[in-house]
A and B are shown apart, each in its own frame.
Chain A
Amino acid sequence: MLEIKGINSFYGKAHVLRDLSFDVERGQVVALLGRNGAGKTTTMKSVMQLVVPESGSVTFQGVEITRMAPHKVAKMGLGYVPEERRIFTDLTVMENLEVGRQPARAQAVTWNEDMLFDMFPNLAERRTNRGKELSGGEQQMLTIARTLMGNPSLILLDEPSEGIAPVIVEEMARVILKLKTEGLTVLLSEQNLHFAQAVADRVVIVESGSAKYQGTMAELNANPEIRDTYLSV
Chain B
Amino acid sequence: MGLFIAQILTGLANASALFMVASGLSLIFGVTRIVNFAHGSFYMLGAYVGYSFMQILPGAFGFWASILLAGLVVGIIGIIVEILVLRPVYKAPELFQLVATFGVILVIQDLTLLVWGADDFLGPRAPGLKGIIRIMGEPVPKYDLALIALTPFVAFALWWLITKTRTGILVRAATQDREMVGALGVNQAWLFTGVFFLGCALAGLGGAVQLPKGGADLLMDFNILSAIFVVVVIGGMGSLPGAYVAAVLISVLNVFGVNYLPQSTLALMFVVMVVVLIFRPFGLFGREEVAGEHGQVGEPERPIKPAGQSARMIVMFGLFLMALLPIVGDSFILVLITDIAIFCLFAASLHFLLGLGGLVSFGHAAYFGGGAYAAALLVTYAGTPMELALILAPLAAGLTAIIFGWVCLRLTGVYFAMLTLAFAQLLWSLVFQWGDFTGGDDGLVDIWPSDWASGTTTFYYLSMVLCVGGIILLRHTAHSPFGYALRAARDSQRQAESTGIHTKHVQLVAFGFAGAMAGIAGGLFVFSKGSIFPNELEIARSFDALIVVFLGGVKTLAGGVVGGAALEGAKDYITRFEYWRLLLGLLIIFVVIVAPDGIAGTLRKWAEKIGFMKREDQA
Question: Which B residue sits closest to A13, measured CB to CB?
Answer: B617
Q: A75-B185, A102-B185 are in contact. List 19 more A-B contacts (CB 8 A).
A: A48-B183, A69-B187, A70-B183, A71-B184, A71-B187, A74-B182, A74-B185, A80-B184, A88-B173, A90-B172, A90-B175, A91-B169, A91-B173, A91-B176, A95-B172, A95-B173, A98-B169, A99-B184, A100-B184
Q: Is the CB of B185 within 8 A of A71?
A: yes
Q: Report B575 CB to chain A, min CB distance, Å.
A: 42
What are 12 of the A-B contact pairs (CB < 8 Å)? A12-B300, A70-B182, A71-B184, A74-B185, A89-B176, A91-B172, A98-B166, A99-B169, A99-B186, A100-B184, A146-B184, A147-B184
B180 within 8 A of A: yes
8 Å CB interface, B186-201 against A: 186-188
Whole-angstrom CA separation of A177 from B172 in the bound complex: 33
Q: Is the CB of B185 within 8 A of A150?
A: yes
User: Interface on B for A, CB 8 Å cutoff?
Assistant: 166, 169-170, 172-173, 175-177, 179-188, 300
Whole-angstrom CA separation of A78 from B184 in the bound complex: 9
A50 within 8 A of B: yes
Q: Report B211 CB to chain A, min CB distance, Å.
A: 37
Query: CB-CB < 8 A to A100: which residues of B?
Result: 184-185
Q: A71-B185, A75-B185, A150-B184 given as contacts; is B179 within 8 A of A99 (CB)?
A: no
Q: Determine which residue in A70, A80, A102 has the highest number of CB atoms from chain B within 10 A of its CB, and name it.
A: A70
Q: Is the CB of A95 within 8 A of B185?
A: no
A86 within 8 A of B: yes
Whole-angstrom CA separation of A102 from B187 in the bound complex: 12
Q: Determine which residue in B176, B180, B181 has the highest number of CB atoms from chain A within 10 A of its CB, and name it.
A: B180
Q: Is the CB of A71 within 8 A of B188?
A: yes
8 Å CB interface, A60-81 against B: 69-71, 74-75, 80
Question: Which B residue sits closest to A45, measured CB to CB?
Answer: B183
Whole-angstrom CA separation of A150 from B170 in the bound complex: 14
A82 within 8 A of B: yes
B173, B176, B181, B182: the one within 8 Å of A69 (CB) = B182
Q: Is the CB of A74 within 8 A of B183?
A: yes
Question: Which A residue sits closest to B166, measured CB to CB?
Answer: A98
Whole-angstrom CA separation of A12 from B181 in the bound complex: 23
Q: Determine which residue in A71, A75, A98 has the highest number of CB atoms from chain B within 10 A of its CB, and name it.
A: A71
Q: A71-B185, A95-B169, A99-B186 given as contacts; is B176 within 8 A of A90 (CB)?
A: yes
Q: Is the CB of A50 within 8 A of B176?
A: no
Q: Report A151 CB to chain B, min CB distance, Å.
A: 10
Whole-angstrom CA separation of A100 from B172 in the bound complex: 13
Q: Is the CB of A99 within 8 A of B183?
A: no
Query: CB-CB < 8 A to B187: which residues of A?
Result: 69, 71
Q: Is the CB of A99 within 8 A of B182?
A: no
Whole-angstrom CA separation of A211 from B244 in the bound complex: 56
Query: CB-CB < 8 A to B185: which residues of A?
Result: 71, 74-75, 100, 102, 150
Whole-angstrom CA separation of A96 from B188 in the bound complex: 16
Q: Report A157 CB to chain B, min CB distance, Å.
A: 13
Whole-angstrom CA separation of A207 from B176 in the bound complex: 33
Q: Is the CB of A71 within 8 A of B186?
A: yes
Q: Is the CB of A88 within 8 A of B172?
A: yes
Whole-angstrom CA separation of A147 from B181 in the bound complex: 11
Question: Which B residue sits closest to A88, measured CB to CB?
Answer: B173
Q: Report B289 CB to chain A, min CB distance, Å.
A: 14
The list of the 8 closest CB pairs from A to B, nearest first, reads: A74-B185, A86-B180, A99-B173, A88-B173, A70-B182, A80-B183, A71-B182, A71-B187
Q: Is the CB of B170 within 8 A of A82?
A: no
Q: Is the CB of A99 within 8 A of B176?
A: no
Query: CB-CB < 8 A to B175: which residues of A?
Result: 90
Chain A, residues 22-43, CB within 8 Å of chain B (1/0): the string is: 0000000000000000000000
Query: CB-CB < 8 A to A147: which residues of B?
Result: 184
8 Å CB interface, A183-211 against B: none
Query: CB-CB < 8 A to A99: which residues of B?
Result: 169-170, 173, 181, 184, 186
Q: Is the CB of A82 within 8 A of B180?
A: yes
Query: CB-CB < 8 A to A150: which residues of B?
Result: 184-185
Chain A, residues 131-175, CB within 8 Å of chain B (1/0): the string is: 000000000000000110010000000000000000000000000
Q: Is the CB of A50 within 8 A of B169?
A: no
Q: Is the CB of A74 within 8 A of B173?
A: no
Query: CB-CB < 8 A to B176: which residues of A?
Result: 88-91
Query: CB-CB < 8 A to B170: which residues of A?
Result: 99
Q: Is the CB of A74 within 8 A of B172?
A: no
Q: Report A155 CB to chain B, min CB distance, Å.
A: 12
Q: Determine which residue in B183, B185, B187, B300 has the highest number of CB atoms from chain A within 10 A of its CB, and name it.
A: B185
Question: Which B residue sits closest to A12, measured CB to CB?
Answer: B300
Query: CB-CB < 8 A to A69: which residues of B?
Result: 182, 187
Whole-angstrom CA separation of A48 from B181 in the bound complex: 13
Whole-angstrom CA separation of A147 from B182 in the bound complex: 12
A70, A80, A88, A101: the one within 8 Å of B177 (CB) = A88
Query: CB-CB < 8 A to B183: which residues of A?
Result: 48, 50, 70-71, 74, 80, 82
Q: Report A108 CB to chain B, min CB distance, Å.
A: 13
Q: Report B175 CB to chain A, min CB distance, Å.
A: 8
Chain A, residues 83-111, CB within 8 Å of chain B (1/0): the string is: 00010111100011011111000000000
Whole-angstrom CA separation of A96 from B177 in the bound complex: 12
Whole-angstrom CA separation of A216 from B184 in the bound complex: 30
Q: Report B592 CB to chain A, min CB distance, Å.
A: 23
Whole-angstrom CA separation of A95 from B175 in the bound complex: 14
Whole-angstrom CA separation of A69 from B170 in the bound complex: 18
Q: Report B29 CB to chain A, min CB distance, Å.
A: 16
Question: Which B residue sits closest to A103, measured CB to CB?
Answer: B185
Q: Determine which residue in B170, B173, B187, B300 has the highest number of CB atoms from chain A within 10 A of its CB, and name it.
A: B173
Whole-angstrom CA separation of A88 from B179 in the bound complex: 12
Query: CB-CB < 8 A to A74: which residues of B?
Result: 182-185
Whole-angstrom CA separation of A48 from B185 in the bound complex: 11
Q: Report A142 CB to chain B, min CB distance, Å.
A: 12
Q: Is the CB of A50 within 8 A of B179?
A: yes
Question: Which B residue sits closest to A150, measured CB to CB?
Answer: B185
Q: Is the CB of B179 within 8 A of A70?
A: yes
Question: Which A residue sits closest to B191, measured CB to CB?
Answer: A71
Q: Determine which residue in A88, A98, A102 has the highest number of CB atoms from chain B within 10 A of its CB, and name it.
A: A88
Query: CB-CB < 8 A to A102: which residues of B?
Result: 184-185
